[in-house]
Structure 1
Amino acid sequence: MASNAGDAPNGIGEKTERDHPRKVSNSSDTSQIENQASNDNMIDDAERERREKSAKLQNPLGHLTAEQLSRQGEEFCAQHGLTSEEDIRAFRLGAMLAGNMNKYDTLAGLTDRERDVLDRETTHKWSNPGMLYAVIVICSLCAAVQGMDETVVNGAQGFYKSQFGIGDSQSQRDSWLLGLTNAAPYICCAFAGCWLTEPMNKAFGRRGTVFVSCLISAAACFWQGFTNTWWHMFIARFALGFGIGPKSATTPIFAAECSPPKLRGALVMQWQMWTAFGIMLGYAMDLAFFEVPDLSGIIGLNWRLMMGSALIPAVLVCCMVWFTPESPRWYLTKNRHHDAYKSICRLRFEKVQAARDLFYMDRLLQIEKETMKIGQSKIKEFLTIRRNRNAMLASEIVMFMQQFCGVNAIAYYSTEIFIDSGFSTQSALVASLGFGIVNFLFALPAFYTIDTFGRRNLLLTTFPLMSIFLFFTGFSFWIPEGTTAHIACIALGIYLYGVVYSPGEGPVPFTYSAEAYPLYIRPIGMSLATATTWFFNSVISLTWPAMVQAWTAQGAFSWYASWNIIGFFLVLFFLPETKEKTLEELDAVFDVKISDLVKYGVAQFFYFWGHYVLRRDIEPPVAPSHVVLEAEHSNQQVFQEKTPDATNRV
């Protein structure tokens, strides 16, 4: 029996309207509708209209009969030049599947092969065409580029800071210049690189943007290996930001727009998992080239090879990306429906699947355009439309906290941290590699947890633990130096921090941001999200050496430990859950009052305390969602009324 994506459990303490659908077929429900209407007297007509349209986005086809859906599938084909009988049949059936919430067991006309594939979407959700996984491989390689770009500097800076005359740890000038050099690409991302995402996506598409950004990254990595002054290194690394920015904003979007809803979280989080792999690979390159001797006329060959090694995965992406299909959703925004259909057919096993998904995408996008009044300024709509404003707030929170949870202070300066705690330089590089391995291995469970436990619950679980382990690491510096306990506790604290960061605040922010925004402003939204994370990334890179000098390691680690406590409450009060909903259905999730989100967070906090700590038998709170009762229908009953007529036509 097929099931709706919303039938999956939503995690501890959460219920949604889709978990407990209400019916409106009796007089009691009609009375509820009237009562709800009377309670909404204070809502103006414009807001009520927006609520109705938002509710319609949850299933815009639910009020249509099978006959009407079948006819609309034919009209879609006629309108967009799909003339073959096979395609027309696929869209007839696909439209009915889309309107019937994919309950294929009630639909006649499907072949045994099609029924088997539709069944496996639920029973074997990892069973997908190889081309879908090829897209994910490309996105994963982009992430590896990102990780290596971030961490090869970790080992290289120990050599070039002395060569460039900025290596005096007691000098405030040198500390700031070292931080500025390391922060250069992230400064570029925040103020320039990320804001190229929208024009590049318009001009080149998702696939073309990935190609151009990786080409820039490869060239900049090569350039870094030929620098001889700190300011030349700053310029080369600043140029690297023009590759990092658009790539980091576009790649999660590309993965999200190609993935089926049940796997979207797991596939999009590949970005963070393979970023973790790239981070580990960057540490490995630092260690591999550590003992490379200088050649005649080349000073610092070892660190030059470290910095240049990150170009290898970037070149691989440039060579492979054109063999994968473009995002079908991007084609729809360009009114290239025929290309969108060809693209999605490569990403699904059967044409019925492709037709169902494309028809549903197109219909939702049309309603989305109507709901969001796209003729307005897109920038203005971030603030004036509640659905977009809430998405922006939630995305900004997770992106800000991805940096201020403190991870990149460790990622960029772990070698220096381990040296300060008593390791030799080579041992510090080995210890940094250990952190990279932990970061990668413990990102693997997020494959399962991000789409079962949920984004929100992962963050609420891991933020307190990250805070504890950062406090533990900072306080370990008070253990007398030179003792085994001093070194062991610092390393243990950092590794335990990596264990809880990797499945939580590691994969969630880019996954969450890539799915939070509606399609028509998604590139701008991701530009803002990535600009935010890279801006605060640059702040951490720039300030960590001076912070340790001014506050000591104890104060610096405690600073970021405290921010993890703040992050817990920000998530509790302002982040709705997004798992296993289609990208368009999220409109109803985000189109709620902030006060309702805060009330739900408070209720969930007390539910958890009462149910799991005090062991009381109490009901979990219901997650807020904008559902207009008048727009709800008994979809299955409506569908079954006309199914015989429609299936005879098929």
Structure 2
Amino acid sequence: MGQQKTPKQFLRTVTIISTFGGLLFGYDTGVVNGALPYMALPDQLNLTPFTEGLVASGLLFGAAIGSFLGGRISDAKGRRKMLLMLAVIFFFATIGCTLSPTVEVMVCFRFLLGLAVGGASVTVPAYLAEMSPAENRGRMVTQNELMIVTGQLCAFVFNAIIGVSFGESAHVWRYMLVIASLPAVVLWFGMLAMPESPRWLVMNGKIGEALKVLKQARDEGRAIAELNEIQDNLAQETSIEKATLKDLTTPWVRRIVFIAMGIAICQQISGVNSIMYYGTQILQKAGFSTEAALIGNIANGVIAVSATFFGIWMMGRHGRRPLLMTGQIGTICALFLIGTFSNVLEGTTILPYVVLSLTVTFLFFQQGFLSPITWLMLSELFPMRLRGMGMGLTVLCLWITNFFVGLSFPVLMDAFGLSHTFFAFVGIGLFGLLFAYKFVPETRGRSLEQIEQDFRNHGKKKAETLTKASTSAE
């Protein structure tokens, strides 16, 4: 018999295995970046700008639905079973994409892949949060974000290696896609050996099993104490009436949802996924060859991973609003410079290197400021009663915005060129900056109860101010 793992070793194994869902999320969203130029060839899928957008964004539309349904299914079936089901979908949808004979078949399998991506985007963080001790929760859940950007980096690296080594092969894009089947197999076999979330077990009356899992992840005394705490928290939650869409008739509730949806939209309209999905085409338009663009795109993946570490460090030291606005200003400036230099330096040998350096700069501000703050603020804005309804609407809104950006970008670039397309994102980004300045509150250092009270009192304070003004005028 092997030596039993310590709680620390056990939690490390849980984190590594479950975040393969995040790795698949990242790889499947990033791999299309290098595969599209080869898919578009006449003897392959013969893509037009519109069908390029469909192939890239078909996954995103599926992810919108998958994220909306994923939480409900994992509540009913369990986090572990959900991840096992997602691993199967990841595997067969990947094989389907790899073998696709036509663009219609490709879009259908990309949609199925999106269902798994969306399901993973809500299930993996929930599983990690429920398995981890309170003091390690932030670090463990953040591992999933790191695995997502690591998955994208892996996609860019494998795209470059395969593109440079086998670029003369007509089916090179199929080799890029099929690699994602391997982590899907690891996720499935790995989750077979993982336990169910103790919180879900308690929710379903399986107290003995929950205690057994907690004893693997905690010292025995703490495991018993935490089991009692979970039972107490669940008892309190069942006494709380959950919010529904009818609650949007209440002004302060509507304001929270409006601000959360606005933050989610602003994170997407920055244009980040135009670079993550179409970075190779952008660099090709700037003047790189396909192989050089694939290699250059690795820099985007490296900075995305590095900036995520930086963003996590910054979040512990500075307020949410200034970091959010710094990210927006930085991304807007980078996009403006891409648009300007694409026009001024058009046709020169230096342009592709300038564009590459500016996409790297853009991703530093996006992944170091804008993206991590977005997810942190979404977790802080909603009080417990509103969290299910609010996060469901907000994440759905985020994926739908992502879908429209992914669908429209190649069409815009074909119709208006590189320069004018990025100027369009600059204009949209300015609206996002104005929204953040006018509506987004500071949440750092405030409890969920204090934040909720501020929203409840917002309308009252405004009414009191108007009353005082009218009284003084008389």
TM norm structure 1: 0.63
Aligned CA distance change for structure 1 residues 167 and 442 (closer, same or farther; 3 Å):
same
Aligned CA distance change for structure 1 residues 570 and 492 (closer, same or farther; 3 Å):
same
* Bigger fraction of residues in helix: 2
- Name the structure 2 match of 1:159: 38
- Name the structure 2 match of 1:317: 187
* Alignment partner of 1:187 is 2:66: no
Aligned CA distance change for structure 1 residues 291 and 273 (closer, same or farther; 3 Å):
same
* Alignment partner of 1:144 is 2:48: no
Match of 1:475 among 340, 344, 347: 340
For 1:355 and 1:574, how far apart are their aligned partners in 2?
44
**RMSD over equivalenced CA pairs, Å:** 3.2
| TM superposition shift of 1:233 | 1.0
- Name the structure 2 match of 1:35: none
Quick check: 2:158–2:176 contact (8 Å CA) kept in 1? yes
| TM superposition shift of 1:429 | 0.5
| TM superposition shift of 1:572 | 4.6
Aligned CA distance change for structure 1 residues 303 and 580 (closer, same or farther; 3 Å):
farther
Quick check: 1:214–1:317 contact (8 Å CA) kept in 2? yes
- Name the structure 1 match of 2:454: 592
| TM superposition shift of 1:465 | 1.3
Aligned CA distance change for structure 1 residues 594 and 388 (closer, same or farther; 3 Å):
closer
For 1:394 and 1:259, how far apart are their aligned partners in 2?
30
Quick check: 1:268–1:511 contact (8 Å CA) kept in 2? no
Deviation by residue 1:99-141 (Cα, 9 ceiling, x = unmatched): xxxxxxxxxxxxxxxxxxxxxxxxxxxx972333333323432
- Name the structure 2 match of 1:539: 404
For 1:406 and 1:594, how far apart are their aligned partners in 2?
34
AA of the residue aligned to 1:327: S
For 2:303 and 2:395, how far apart are their aligned partners in 1?
25
For 1:258 and 1:520, how far apart are their aligned partners in 2?
22
Quick check: 2:312–2:372 contact (8 Å CA) kept in 1? no
* Long gaps (5+) in structure 2: 1-5, 463-474
Match of 1:498 among 363, 386, 395: 363
| TM superposition shift of 1:293 | 4.8
* Alignment partner of 1:197 is 2:62: no
Deviation by residue 1:371-394 (Cα, 9 ceiling, x = unmatched): x324xxx53365267786565445
Quick check: 1:470–1:557 contact (8 Å CA) kept in 2? yes
| TM superposition shift of 1:213 | 1.3
Quick check: 2:97–2:109 contact (8 Å CA) kept in 1? yes
AA of the residue aligned to 2:57: A
Q: How does 1:550-561 map to 2 (within 5 A)?
A: 550-561=415-426
For 1:130 and 1:386, how far apart are their aligned partners in 2?
48
- Name the structure 1 match of 2:51: 177
* Alignment partner of 1:464 is 2:329: yes
Quick check: 1:462–1:504 contact (8 Å CA) kept in 2? yes
Quick check: 2:57–2:404 contact (8 Å CA) kept in 1? yes
* Alignment partner of 1:403 is 2:268: yes
For 1:240 and 1:333, how far apart are their aligned partners in 2?
30
* Long gaps (5+) in structure 1: 1-126, 169-173, 601-650
- Name the structure 2 match of 1:242: 115
For 1:557 and 1:176, how far apart are their aligned partners in 2?
18
- Name the structure 1 match of 2:156: 283
AA of the residue aligned to 1:153: V
* Alignment partner of 1:353 is 2:226: no
- Name the structure 1 match of 2:196: 326
* Alignment partner of 1:415 is 2:280: yes
Aligned CA distance change for structure 1 residues 528 and 463 (closer, same or farther; 3 Å):
same
For 2:55 and 2:210, how far apart are their aligned partners in 1?
43
For 1:143 and 1:454, how far apart are their aligned partners in 2?
27
- Name the structure 2 match of 1:363: 232
AA of the residue aligned to 1:538: F
- Name the structure 2 match of 1:13: none
Aligned CA distance change for structure 1 residues 152 and 209 (closer, same or farther; 3 Å):
same
Quick check: 1:197–1:523 contact (8 Å CA) kept in 2? no
- Name the structure 2 match of 1:97: none
Aligned CA distance change for structure 1 residues 461 and 342 (closer, same or farther; 3 Å):
farther
SS in 1 for 2:309: coil
* Alignment partner of 1:373 is 2:373: no
For 1:391 and 1:344, how far apart are their aligned partners in 2?
35
Quick check: 2:56–2:406 contact (8 Å CA) kept in 1? yes
Aligned CA distance change for structure 1 residues 456 and 136 (closer, same or farther; 3 Å):
farther
| TM superposition shift of 1:418 | 0.5
- Give the length in aligned residue pairs: 457
Q: Sequence identity, in percent?
A: 25
For 1:243 and 1:466, how far apart are their aligned partners in 2?
30
Quick check: 1:394–1:575 contact (8 Å CA) kept in 2? yes
Deviation by residue 1:564-614 (Cα, 9 ceiling, x = unmatched): 343344445555556688xxx6355334326739999xxxxxxxxxxxxxx
**Greater Cα radius of gyration, structure 1 or 2:** 1
SS in 2 for 1:162: coil
SS in 1 for 2:163: coil
| TM superposition shift of 1:273 | 1.9
Quick check: 1:474–1:490 contact (8 Å CA) kept in 2? no
| TM superposition shift of 1:302 | 1.3
For 2:384 and 2:81, how far apart are their aligned partners in 1?
18
Query: Which stretch of the first structure deviates more once superposed, 470-479 or 556-565?
Result: 556-565
Quick check: 2:383–2:452 contact (8 Å CA) kept in 1? no
For 1:347 and 1:456, how far apart are their aligned partners in 2?
36
* Alignment partner of 1:438 is 2:303: yes
Match of 1:251 among 124, 144, 153: 124
| TM superposition shift of 1:464 | 1.4
- Name the structure 2 match of 1:215: 88
For 1:179 and 1:533, how far apart are their aligned partners in 2?
17
Higher relative contact order (CA 8 A, sep 6+): 1
For 1:447 and 1:437, how far apart are their aligned partners in 2?
16
Match of 1:226 among 73, 76, 99: 99
| TM superposition shift of 1:352 | 4.1
Aligned CA distance change for structure 1 residues 357 and 503 (closer, same or farther; 3 Å):
farther
For 2:426 and 2:185, how far apart are their aligned partners in 1?
38
- Name the structure 2 match of 1:301: 171
Quick check: 2:153–2:301 contact (8 Å CA) kept in 1? yes
